[in-house]
Amino acid sequence: MESPHVIKGPDPMDSLLSAAKKLADKGAIRDEIVSGIYGVSAGICSDAVTYQDRKKLGSTYKLDRIVTSRLWGFPIMLAGLGLVFWITIAGANYPSGWLASLFGWIEGYLTAGFEAVNAPSWLHGVLVLGLYRGTSWVISVMLPPMLIFFPVFALLENFGYLPRVAFNMDRLFKKSGGHGKQALTMSMGFGCNAAAILSTRIIESPRERMLAILTNNFVPCNGRWPTLILLSSMFMVGAATTGALRTFSTALVLMGIVLIGITVTLTVSWVMSKTALRGVPTHYTLELPPYRRPQIWKTIVRSSKEKSLNVLTRAIIVAAPAGIITWVLGNVVVGGDSVLNHMAAFFDPFAQLLGMDGFIIMAFILGLPANEIVLPILLMGYMSSGAMVDVDGLGSIKDIFLSHGWTWLTALNMMLFSLLHYPCGTTLVNIYKETKSLKWAVLSAVIPLGIAITVTFAVAQIVRLLGWV
Amino acid sequence: MSHYTVAFAGNPNTGKSTLFNLLTGLRQHTGNWAGKTVITAEGEFTHNQHVYRAVDLPGTYSLYSNSADEEAARDYIIFEQPDVTLVVLDATSLERNLNLALQVLEITGRAVICINLIDEAKKLGIDINLKAISKRLGVPVVAISARNEIGIEALLNQLERVATGAFTGKPLQITYSEDIERGIAELIPLVEQTVGSRYPARWIALRLLDGDNSLLTSLKAHMRGSKRYETKEVAGHGVTACH
């Protein structure tokens, strides 16, 4: 007998599929397949698995009734976030000061050494004032908060809290037209945007995945936390507040920044899903895994060793040459002023409109490869631009900023710009690789940049109009 | 000394990456949430003078190609045809986890089922009859705790049996409804005629009945031989902060 489905035509594969389609046109095939598999699973388990006490099984989910409840879900989330910040700021404050003093003390000996061998002053400038100072600041400012923040975050992650965050956020993302899993990829962005772009692969629909990719930049990553933590603890809290209250207020400011980021994420998702990426959110199942006691020491050691050192190494690798270059640019004089000052002066008029200055914008532009180096470049730029301050602790970092006319508005807008501006180079490359579209890669830099400029401009104008600075 | 490839498959949150790290000594990022391993990572380990190349597939609930990571896992098992597919299951929610194991067994009998978190299951008062499960599935079943390094030796021994061919499994094939079975029977000859005997014809027929276009796209690409499956290692091992 001849087969009823003769394969012919240009592509046998397509004929195969159409043959299959003909056979399957009764629909509900997927349901039958799935119920077939589930039936066998259930059969095996009822034969081979016995439960002493079924109630015990539900016990790990008791906690979920509280942390994912409509009433308590968000307050607990915010309190948790605040607590993590509070621990980070309170714990990092003193070690940062000690490290800065230690490096300052060593610098004294280095300078003495250079003088003893009659080294030319430019060599001392390049190596000590540029290279050494730049890198030692990066270490003292970034290492202590990272050593606290990353392990605490990793503990929460291994405990199983992140899926609960996603569960709570799901409603908001649904309303903004995105996918609930966007909450998970967003959480991953708190660690690293570049990695989070890869993690958007868990989102099935291309439309919703694109939303997750476009908005991932709006949560601060490893590279931006140190900048945010440092600036908020220096400028955003009144001088009168001290001790625990000070730490507490700083944590509140950081939380505010994160909330702004999440609000922008939701708003952009909503606007995009109403315009360029129209569509209806798809359904999905989000698994809430049982809570597990994290392996505390392993987690702490691993996250310190890998995450903290990783970020720090990258910062130093880029900051060290950047330190030399900025020192050279700051000391090569053309037409009565250093090259660095010329460059900063070029950006300055525009930057002033945004409540910042030319050095800050320059630092953001030079910091495209990695957000870790924005702050070091800025500091080095300031230091080599004539206002030589003797640095012997964190307090003098603030003096450097103040001597360049910083106010709380400058700090706030730099934080906002850091939060909202384009993603780092690696993230952009990943976006291009994942979407295979130059258009979306460019848009994912241009949209955030536009928002960052708009927001900082508006804030600067309003604050000045009201005469608050 | 021989070289074998082992693919690690499993639902998210089953401790698959923990086991992978334990065996290979790598530090693939572990975390308690779904979808953390979105790229496949590779490592190596040795047992009884055999060298195993371990491939950590993304954690998935099914191989029905709902998303990019499910496609990646499915394509690896079908096209790369690892010597052993190790399916890691969570002992505390075995019924749901078994679905993936059943789907893997529909593709290949060269599999070992590894029931992880057995110590947690004991704590919760769950008793699992390994022999009964192994008998039904037709492949070796081992209970382990990757975290506390329980049962690892036994697992490696079973891996070796399947890898070397000392054990040939008779994997459980699910019998579907009459309609589906009739469709499969009609399609199998066509599938074999079109794609050859290298790939599991029954499974492909089933997926085609379900209208799985992405499988067909992958098949086409592989038939032309233009696209070799690339094991991506974009973020490297354990590097989450990758600017």
pLDDT in tens, B70-129: 888 888 899 889 999 999 999 988 988 999 999 999 999 999 999 999 998 888 888 999
Q: Given a cut of 80, is residue A283 above it in pLDDT?
A: no
Cβ pairs bridging A and B (under 8 Å): 221
Question: Are A289 and B33 in contact (CB < 8 Å)?
Answer: yes
What is the distance in angstroms between the Cα of A315 and the nearest Cα belonging to chain B?
Answer: 10
Q: Give all strands (DSSP E) within chain B, no chain letters.
A: 3-10, 41-47, 50-56, 84-90, 111-116, 126-128, 141-143
Q: Which of residues 174-233 of B touch A (CB under 8 A)?
A: 174-177, 179-180, 183, 186-187, 189-191, 193-194, 205-206, 208-211, 213, 216, 219-220, 223
β strands within A12-166, DSSP E: 49-51
Burial state string for A93-116 with b = 16 or more CB within 10 A and e = fewer than 16: beebbebbeebbeebeebeeebee
In DSSP terms, B2 is beta-bridged to none
Shortest alpha-carbon distance between residue B138 and chain A (Å): 12
Q: Which residues contact A461 (CB under 8 A, 6 or more apart)?
A: none
Is 0.90 topped by the overall pTM? no
Would you call B211 and A20 a contact, using CB atoms and an 8 Å cutoff?
yes
Nearest to A26 by CA among B234, B110, B183: B183
Class of the domain covering B3-171+230-242: alpha beta
Q: A43 pLDDT exceeds 60? A: yes
pLDDT in tens, A143-186: 787 788 778 877 887 788 877 887 888 888 888 888 878 887 88
Does A17 sit within 8 Å of B241, measured CB to CB?
A: no
CA dihedral sign of residues A24, A30, A36, A41:
positive
CATH 3.40.50.300 in chain B is located at 3-171+230-242
**Cα separation of A362 and A369, whole Å?**
13
CA gap A299, A301 in Å, rounded: 6
3-state secondary structure (DSSP) of residue B126: strand
Question: What are the φ and ψ backbone dihedral angles of B187, each rounded to 5 degrees?
Answer: -80, -30
Residue A446 parent element (H or E): helix A438-465
Q: If residue A361 lies in a helix (H) or strand (E), which one and from where to where?
A: helix A358-366
The pLDDT of residue A440 is 92
Helix axes A374-384, A394-403, angle to 10 degrees: 70
What ipTM does the predicted assembly reach?
Answer: 0.84
- Return d(Cα A345, Cα A84) in angstroms, integer: 39
Q: Which residue has the tokens 């993690």?
A: A199
Q: Which backbone phi and psi does A310 adopt, to 5 degrees?
A: -60, -50
Q: What is the pLDDT averaged over residues A429-445? A: 91
According to the model, what pLDDT value does residue B65 have?
Answer: 64
